[in-house]
A = this chain, B = another copy of it.
Amino acid sequence: MSISKFVAPEIIFGLGALSQVGESALRLGATRLFVISDPGVVANQWVEKAIARLKEAGLSFEVWFEVTSNPKDYEVVEGVKQYLAAGCDAILAVGGGSPIDVAKAVAILATNKGVIQDYEGVNKITRPLPPLLVVPTTAGSGSEVSQFAIIVDTRRKIKMTIISKSLVPDIAIIDPVVLQTKDARLTAATGLDALSHAIESFVSLAATPLTNVHALNAIRLIARYLRPSVACRTNLEAKAAMAMAALQAGLAFSNAILGATHAMAHQLDAQLDLHHGETNAILLPYVMEFNQLACVEKFAQIAEAMGEDPAGLSIWEAAEKAIRAVRKLAGDLDIPEKISVESLSEEYITRLTQNALKDACIITNPRDVTERDIHHLFTLVLKRGRAGD
């Protein structure tokens, strides 16, 4: 047992929790908030509702809604400029993983020098950040509780992974009501993103008893509630369960880090501007097949958490059920089995592979990976689909 660290924000969870935005901002000592969101979320009026609470609390604010999916380095540059020009002293992010990650990146550069590339990797942030309050509008990224921010370096065409305890938001306000405006496709993709967080952190080399308990519970909740959550926008029981699942998966991966699925997904997202949740969902079963050699007992636990019955099965058979259950869930939610791209050169796959091997997430993958292994996995997912198909 090595020494592990576990960090989490203050968490406010429940139907109607959005009402806590003003009081929470006050408690953080904020007087003027920089409100970050994206146009989709703004259209659903969640930002308007959050702002109404800031007004009630007597707080001033400046809004900035220019964030895109797979957020880019130049967006961060623009955000920091606006933040400083507006004279704000705290940040409120309302949105999915992209606005929250941009909020973290803006927070870094608001009080630390240089460019966002300087903070790629682990623990590069030296100065304290402005208070950060987040309201997730998807159940997936886990960014509301994590010490991760993922920003695209547009020149290198890679996703940079920035990890630091100071990126854990001060307060995460999680209101399942907000999830009701997500369409089925986004619900599925973000839910499977949460599943990939839970599974990768559970088998991570940095997993601890404290991360495992969250990871396993997230898997249980997703197996039971993701299908009904995708099937029905107004199923609040399913929305609340998925919000909790994304939160617990976030606590798990924030502290246990991830694995090859994410190291590879980060490259594909950046190169092809795919939805991160879908990329993960497609990659996950392939990487699980590869990792099975390293963690058959944990896979058997995953199978049970996915609702499979291990009675009468060998541990190897139970482990295989985990992979089949993940494939079945993704299939039920119309996730394709491979990523469709036109004509990929070997050189292109080699570049993806080399970048994946440099990603911070690869270090905690439970099975040792070689360049050949990752190249083979990229080839499967980009060209061939399931072996033998």
Contacts and interface: CB of A to CB of B under 8 A. Distances in A.
A214 B209 CA distance: 11
Interface in A150-175: 165
Interface stretch (A13-21, A32-40, A257-265, A280-288): A13-21
Can you list the 8 inter-chain pairs with the closest CB atoms, starting with the nearest?
A: A3-B14, A6-B11, A213-B217, A3-B17, A7-B10, A209-B244, A8-B8, A1-B15
Q: What is the count of identical protomers in the complex?
A: 2
Given A210-B248, A213-B217, A240 B14 contact: no
A370 interface: no
Contact of A1 (B7, B19, B240, B247): B240
Contact of A3 (B3, B13, B213): B13
Contacts of A20: 3
Contacts of A213: 213-214, 217, 248
Contacts of A2: 14-15
B11 A210 contact: yes
Contact of A208 (B4, B8, B13, B209): B13
A12 interface: yes
Contact of A10 (B6, B12, B244, B248): B6
A372 interface: no
Contacts of A1: 14-15, 176, 240
Interface string A242-253: 001001100000
A17 B4 CA distance: 8
Contacts of A19: 3
Interface of A: 1-8, 10-17, 19-20, 165, 176, 208-210, 213-214, 217, 240, 244, 247-248
Contacts of A217: 209, 213
Contact of A13 (B6, B247, B248): B6
Nearest to A241: B209
Contacts of A165: 10
Nearest to A218: B213
A197 to B, nearest CB: 16
